[in-house]
Every structure is written in structure tokens, then in C-alpha cells.
Amino acid sequence: MTMSAKAIRVYNILKARNFSDEEAQEVVDFMDTAPKEGLVSKEDIANLKVELIKWMIGVGIAGFTAQVALLKILKVI
């Protein structure tokens, strides 16, 4: 496995603090993967935008329909 410069630095610090090779490697591996789990991609944001637009259009149509129905009930139109 290739390690970044930051990962190597953390590994060396842990080794200097008397961590075993296995323990230091586990910490570095965790640090390497943990931040990536919560990140959002541009594709995720694009999909979210599409979903929001769909909901906005749907709510707008529903609101307009409700207003027309209410006006018909009140015999305004």
C-alpha cells in the first residue's frame, strides 16, 4: 500500500511513541479512509438538485390545483 506524506509522518510519530508496526499501520489506515466516508461528490449534489426541482414543481402544481379547487368551491370562477 502506498502512503501519502502525511500518513508517513503520522506513522513515524506513532513509531517514535512506541507503537508497534501493526498498531501504527492500523491508525494510519483508519485516518486514510475515515474522512472519505462522509464526503459528497459532485454527482450526489447534481442528483439532489434534480430531486429538489422535482419536488418544487410537484408542490407548485399541487398548490395551484388546491387554489383552483377552492375557488370553484367558493364559486368565484
Residue count of the chain: 77
The whole-chain average pLDDT of the chain stands at 89
Say how far apart CA 57 and CA 49 lie, in whole Å: 12
Question: Both 7 and 35 in a single domain?
Answer: yes
Count of the separate structural domains present in the chain: 2
Question: Both 22 and 46 in a single domain?
Answer: no
Q: What mean pLDDT is predicted for residues 13-20? A: 94
Domain of 30 in residue numbering reads as 1-39
Question: Both 2 and 30 in a single domain?
Answer: yes
Q: Is the pLDDT of residue 75 over 80?
A: yes
Instruction: Dig out the grid coordinates for 77 from the structure.
Output: 370562477
Instruction: Dig out the grid coordinates for 69 from the structure.
Output: 379547487
Question: Both 34 and 61 in a single domain?
Answer: no
* pTM for this model (two decimals): 0.48
Question: Both 61 and 32 in a single domain?
Answer: no
Q: Is the pLDDT of residue 7 over 60?
A: yes
